[in-house]
Structure 1
């Protein structure tokens, strides 16, 4: 299915038929189908919404470089377009960044029930001496290759150098999306984490080398109502690498939510 928001064609899908809603916010460079198994964990009793952010999957790319806050503002419009007034949110990697931004706001036009952060980004790592040297070296070389004389003498070598820089996500991205990624990875969201009021489950692979387990422990410490579930032997895509373990964690967590809600309703 497609939805037009501010001129952007947004690819999305809905599964399940429950009265409650779970919305999945994807990781960088993925498409919504990557999270089909995640949706299947709770689609027997939840309506699950999956979608592609602008510039991801089959959705239109932003006209200019967006920050994490820009994506958060887009998501607010997305929820309004689907008339979703209350939902739990699950974010993987980059999607976790957007959720942290949203949950830290004083008010939203919709209510967030619970949050699940899966191998989430948002903690800015402290650079090692080697990494600091690499940054300085990169900036120096960038100045050189930006000179018109260098571009005229060896354009092919310059292009090869540019394409070799950065992470795989950076190299595979378009020019606009590269700038979006740079904005994201240079932003530290840890100051926002104490403002998150919702019950939050952190699910992490202990072999994650993109957002290491140490990030999860920082989030667990800073987010007031949070708990950490570690999946051993899994990396950054723990839900794909250990699907059965991930499924049990999800079903246990959302079954607990259903039980809590029933108890509240019975006491009213």
Structure 2
């Protein structure tokens, strides 16, 4: 299905009936990865998931989007398509979780005026905590800035206008290297926003589902979120990584089903 939000063509899925459950995917991902979770949840819920701007089959934004811009996008999407739904349950993976944390805390604190309330939240291997850099990472960052400064001041750009772009690809993450210039800027803004200050304001019941082998958003992040969010509970799936819902769908759905009371 498709809709238009702020001039962008947005691809989304709408299945099932019941209370509205909205799923937000992670960085570099898309709604197709939620297929198994959607198939399970739609037995008891009206499930909606959208490819956010710059991902999947949705259009890329003309300008970089920070977390607040994605929060605003989600609100506009819901207001346009589901204005009658006054309660919305959210499930977010990775960056999708970061967006939900910012949205829920904003509504709870009164910073965000929304047409709906959020009764429950599910965060799966969620982003939101800025990792502490290792010494090796600090040295790598230092080398990057050294080479960047050299390229900018040496006149190399006149010979090779793409030199900075090549450097950024070399030193950046796989997600960064794969992204367009607009989405790279979006990624930098997203990963550098610390959501820890907002977590105590997420007072809804929150189910945290984490893979104990997750290296992108390690289990320690989930443990910290459990401490900071007043009504959060952490469920750990052993032997899986950042995509716990794909790596052990049976156990993931059992945990989710218990929290949302989804019939088997």
How far apart, in 2, do the equivalents of 1:187 and 1:130 lie?
22
Which string of whole-angstrom CA distances, capped at 9 and with x for unpartnered residues, describes residues 13-40 of structure 1? 11112x2111000000111111111112
Q: Which residue of 1 aligns with 2:225?
A: 219
How far off is 1:133 after superposition? 2.2
Alpha carbons of structure 1 residues 21 and 185: separation in structure 2 relative to 1, 3 Å:
same
How far apart, in 1, do the equivalents of 2:197 and 2:169 lie?
34
Aligned length: 256
Deviates more, 1:225-234 or 1:138-147: 138-147
Cα contact 1:216–1:228 (8 A) shared by 2: yes
How far apart, in 2, do the equivalents of 1:156 and 1:76 lie?
38
How far off is 1:57 after superposition? 0.7
Unmatched 5+ residue regions in structure 1? 259-268
Residue aligned with 1:55, SS:
coil
How far apart, in 2, do the equivalents of 1:70 and 1:160 lie?
28
How far apart, in 2, do the equivalents of 1:108 and 1:215 lie?
28
Cα contact 1:79–1:85 (8 A) shared by 2: no
Q: Which residue of 1 aligns with 2:148?
A: 142
How far apart, in 2, do the equivalents of 1:226 and 1:95 lie?
17
Q: Which residue of 2 aligns with 1:229?
A: 235
How far apart, in 1, do the equivalents of 2:164 and 2:76 lie?
41
Alpha carbons of structure 1 residues 157 and 187: separation in structure 2 relative to 1, 3 Å:
closer
Q: Which residue of 1 aligns with 2:129?
A: 123
How far apart, in 1, do the equivalents of 2:97 and 2:144 lie?
29
How far apart, in 2, do the equivalents of 1:137 and 1:239 lie?
37
Alpha carbons of structure 1 residues 148 and 2: separation in structure 2 relative to 1, 3 Å:
farther
Q: Which residue of 2 aligns with 1:10?
A: 10
Q: Output the aligned Cα RMSD.
A: 1.7
Q: Which residue of 2 aligns with 1:262?
A: none
Q: Which residue of 2 aligns with 1:238?
A: 244
Unmatched 5+ residue regions in structure 2? none
How far apart, in 2, do the equivalents of 1:102 and 1:155 lie?
40
How far apart, in 1, do the equivalents of 2:191 and 2:141 lie?
14
Query: How does 1:182-221 map onto structure 2 within 5 Å?
Result: 182-221=188-227
How far apart, in 2, do the equivalents of 1:157 and 1:6 lie?
34
Deviates more, 1:199-208 or 1:50-59: 50-59
Q: TM-score, normalised by structure 2?
A: 0.92
How far apart, in 1, do the equivalents of 2:184 and 2:87 lie?
33
Query: How does 1:156-175 map onto structure 2 within 5 Å?
Result: 160-175=166-181
Residue aligned with 2:155, SS:
helix
Instruction: Find out whether 1:76 has 2:82 as its counterpart.
Output: no
Cα contact 2:27–2:94 (8 A) shared by 1: yes
Cα contact 1:41–1:250 (8 A) shared by 2: no
How far apart, in 2, do the equivalents of 1:7 and 1:254 lie?
35
How far off is 1:202 after superposition? 0.1
